[in-house]
Amino acid sequence: ADSAVSEQPGQLLLGMQPEGGQVQPDAARVPVFGLGCAGGATGLALASKLARATPGAVVLLVVVELCSLSFRMDELTKADIVATALFGDGAAACVVRWGEDGFAHVEATAEHTWPDTLDIMGWRVDPTGLGVIFDRAIPPFVENELAAAIDKILADLDLTRSDIDRFCCHPGGAKVVDAIETALELTPGTLDLERGVLRDYGNMSAPTVLFVLERLIARGLPSRSMMTAFGPGFTCAGLVLET
């Protein structure tokens, strides 16, 4: 596991445009690919680090997934059929600044990667297109392994699960949401916003957790929340927000 904590929390601003509503012609671009469903949380963590490293800069995070590209007429496997039924296309964006007033501070970011888990989930890129990898069941793995990983991430930040008022989780699927609640010992039904986003849009991969965050903001962010998302690797990305 790797974690980074800023000495002074940065400010996270969602849904705000840079001055003038335009991207400057000299803007630096940082393309990132291959993070899968963890991309929203990992991307937001990277944006916060870039903002922290460049005070005064405006960092625009844009997360786009075209999961429908995984539909393969040449490969009608069970995994591809499940992916087509579960996944949807989506996009989300947010703005991160250092030292500006916003709705939350990025208190800390972290990741945990389990060894020997490349076969759990991912994307296979071949000449025909994208192919999904679902060789091992994700919900049982999450239920058995998530708590220890989250506890390790939080311990590195001198926090425990009791310090988190609300988890903001990537809803990988209905069974995954159930597994998260079980693993983190949350009251069944706690992750209602996650289920709502999954119901309304499907699993859009990386942007999905930002849709959950948007609904959590509308409801009212608690004092401290933790964003989590899973990705190929098998990896759990974490982001702690303070209001």
Residues annotated as catalytic are 37
**Count of other CB atoms within 10 angstroms of residue 31:** 4
Give the largest CA-CA distance in the chain: 52
Q: Which residues contact 52 (CB under 8 A, 6 or more apart)?
A: 6, 10, 98
Measure the CA–CA gap between 37 and 34, rounded to whole angstroms: 9
Radius of gyration of the chain (CA): 18
Closest CA to 170 of 125, 137, 216: 216
Tokens describing residue 116: 């020997």
Q: Do 3 and 153 contact (CB within 8 A), yes or no?
A: yes
Measure the CA–CA gap between 81 and 68, rounded to whole angstroms: 11
Closest CA to 243 of 148, 149, 168: 168
Tokens describing residue 155: 């311990």
Q: Is the dihedral of CA 164, 166, 171, 174 positive or negative?
A: positive
Which backbone phi and psi does 8 adopt, to 5 degrees? -125, 125
Tokens describing residue 26: 């000299």
